[in-house]
């Protein structure tokens, strides 16, 4: 069974109505998690910790969706082998 990795990260937004970070170098990388539930728990803890800052947002990125293990490798990946 394939792992379903999730990345939790966040930072301060330029405008709370948009998803543009004020300073990408200052992003808070909470961590990589092996399943959605643990990622959600980490996301919720950080979101609650920063609830007083309307410009602060945390996200869950579904890393496992970036790669389809069943698909043939791309020419770029073949260069590395």
Q: Structural domains in the chain?
A: 6-79 (3.30.70.2400)
pTM score > 0.75 for this model? yes
Tell me the pLDDT of the chain (81 aa) as tens digits. 567 899 999 999 999 999 999 999 999 999 999 999 999 999 999 999 999 999 999 999 999 888 666 666 555 555 444
Task: Provide the terminal-to-terminal Cα distance of the chain, rounded to the nearest Å.
Answer: 24
3-state SS, residue 47 = helix
- What does the pLDDT read at residue 4? 87
30 within 8 A of 9, measured Cβ to Cβ: yes
């Amino acid at each position: 069974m394939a792992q379903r990795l999730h990345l939790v990260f966040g930072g301060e937004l330029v405008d709370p109505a948009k998803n543009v970070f004020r300073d990408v170098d200052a992003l808070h990388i909470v961590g990589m998690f092996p399943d959605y539930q643990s990622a959600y728990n980490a996301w919720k803890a950080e979101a609650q910790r920063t609830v007083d800052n309307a410009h602060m947002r945390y996200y869950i990125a579904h890393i496992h969706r970036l790669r389809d293990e069943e698909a043939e490798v791309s020419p770029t990946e073949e260069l590395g082998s």
